[in-house]
Structure 1
Amino acid sequence: MTTVTSPRAVLGVVLPSTNTVVEAEYNDMRPPGVSFHTGRIYIADENLGSDGKMESFLEDLRTQIGTAVRDVVTCKPDRIVMGMSAETFWGGAQGAAQFESWVGEQSGLRVSTGAAACKAALEAFGARRIGVITPYQPVGDEQVRAFFTEMGFEVAAVRGLAVDSATGIADVTPEQIRQAFLAVDGPDVDALVQAGTNLAAVATAAQLEAELGKPVIAINAATVWHALRAEGITDRMTGYGRLLAEH
């Protein structure tokens, strides 16, 4: 529903309790008359130091996510926006579709996920061959690779930063993010894309686009873009990359 302070859209954002980047970056990109309201998924153990620990983290998340969705729906948002990444890619194309459908059933609302948003963003640019960066362990990288491959993209390279804790992802520096993007770039790569919503990549991605002359898509920018456009909000915003400025 719309409100006095948010006459254009009220968006419910679901994110892990360990995440400190989504709210900051989303609000940087918030157009007038739109508001974001969060439901936080309780995470008991933030350890991501191995493939097994990452899988345990996601199992913990799955047991708690329904509560976060339940809670944020009480503010009567127009749409659910998933401010989390790994789970939206997990299981490839089929897993991503099932997850989106499940959140829709739990909330009774339309849903924007990071995986669907990145796919739509790449299609908006006509990109086919891509380089991908993540903060994940190898098990997560392979899920992201599988999703994009099954969606018809050619994944030239994936660079996982293997950050060992969920909160630690927010400590990755702009220079580390920049170097990761450059490591998966090449003359035959059409676009670069980033997964991992606690990785503060929007500003770095926008800067690299200007330098490289190709799309560099940060997942938080893509997800905000997807949600806004789906709600009929077509404002063009500069400073956050070509996606929000041109599409």
Structure 2
Amino acid sequence: MGKDVLAWRKKFGVIGPSTNTVVQPDMEQMRPPGVTNHYSRIYTPNAKALDDQSAWDATQVIASNVVEAVKSIMTCEPDYLVMGMSAITFFGGRKGAMEFAENINRESGGIGCSIGSLSCTAALKAYGGVKRISFLSPYYPISNKEVRQYFTDEGFEVINDIPLRAKSWTGIAEITEDTLRATLKQIDGDNVDALVQVGTNCSMVRLAAATELVLNKPVIAINTATYWHALRTSGIRDKVYGLGRLLEEF
């Protein structure tokens, strides 16, 4: 069987909500030569005027449509899957994350998948010495509670977290860099070893890299962590410069 002429190293199937406009361009920035990204959209009605409960309910709709997106992307015969939707990968703590990953792996015929939650854990461990973290999200408190529980299950102490309460799914991509920068300052502290951003439609890849240089501590954007994990799991060790220490050093 021949090799795809453009994906002569790896062909990635990237799965994300249909409302997400950030994952695709974010991950294109990180793509080394010989690797191609092919996006499959999870059908996602653009829930608006969200509150705690409606955001939770809308997230469950996304979760129910994931399998169809996996089936669709499998028709291009990818080598590996990359999950560009983060909230549901944190639900149910570490146990829930493992079950989610196993379900995707089963639906894909066992080719493997990098998911946001487990990728963040791997990234934090790659830096080493990280025990206390803070995180920000575009979510509501009900989902932040799940993220906090996941990181606690993984052995981290969560010092601070802030949910930015985006008013629609597409509104997540409208959260400004100024807002993100100010929020990073709020969740940081001398007792915090690393900062994490979750929510894949929130564009923070370059801001995280810049903030890392200023604070001299790990600042991890979830899209960076997930794509880094996919590359390294697939045996691709290329260093990608300008997007943070994770892709440059580990």
TM-score (norm 1): 0.98
Match of residue 152, structure 2, among 149, 153, 156: 149
SS at match of 2:65: helix
Matched letter for residue 122 of structure 1: L
User: Structure 2: how far apart are the matches of 1:202 and 1:219?
Assistant: 8
1:67 is matched with 68
SS at match of 1:197: coil
SS at match of 2:134: strand
More divergent stretch after superposition (38-47 vs 66-75): 38-47
Match of residue 112, structure 1, among 108, 111, 114: 114
Write out per-residue CA displacement over residues 75-129 of structure 1, whole angstroms, 9 at most, x where no aligned residue: 1111111000000001111111110111111111201000011000001112110
1:40 is matched with 41
1:200 is matched with 203
2:235 is matched with 232
Counterpart check, 1:220 vs 2:207: no
Q: Is the 8 A contact 2:173 2:203 kept in 1?
A: yes
Q: Is the 8 A contact 2:19 2:45 kept in 1?
A: no
1:97 is matched with 98
1:16 is matched with 17
Q: Is the 8 A contact 1:130 1:191 kept in 2?
A: yes
Q: After the TM superposition, which residues 121-200 of structure 1 pair with which residues of structure 2 at under 5 Å, given as runs?
A: 121-126=123-128, 127-200=130-203
Q: Is the 8 A contact 2:46 2:170 kept in 1?
A: no
Write out per-residue CA displacement over residues 43-72 of structure 1, whole angstroms, 9 at most, x where no aligned residue: 124236111111211221122111100000
User: Structure 2: how far apart are the matches of 1:30 and 1:98?
Assistant: 28
User: Structure 1: how far apart are the matches of 2:65 and 2:248?
Assistant: 36
Q: Is the 8 A contact 1:15 1:82 kept in 2?
A: yes
User: Structure 1: how far apart are the matches of 2:236 and 2:172?
Assistant: 30
Which structure 1 residue ranges, 5 or more long, are not aligned? none
SS at match of 1:170: helix
Identical-pair percentage: 45
1:4 is matched with 5
Q: Is the 8 A contact 2:133 2:157 kept in 1?
A: yes
Give 1:38 shift.
1.1
Aligned length: 247
User: Structure 2: how far apart are the matches of 1:62 and 1:77?
Assistant: 21
Write out per-residue CA displacement over residues 163-201 of structure 1, whole angstroms, 9 at most, x where no aligned residue: 111000000111111111111111111110110000000
Q: Is the 8 A contact 2:22 2:203 kept in 1?
A: yes
SS at match of 1:148: helix
Which structure 2 residue ranges, 5 or more long, are not aligned? none
| RMSD (Å) for aligned C-alpha atoms | 1.1
TM-score (norm 2): 0.97
Q: Is the 8 A contact 1:2 1:10 kept in 2?
A: no
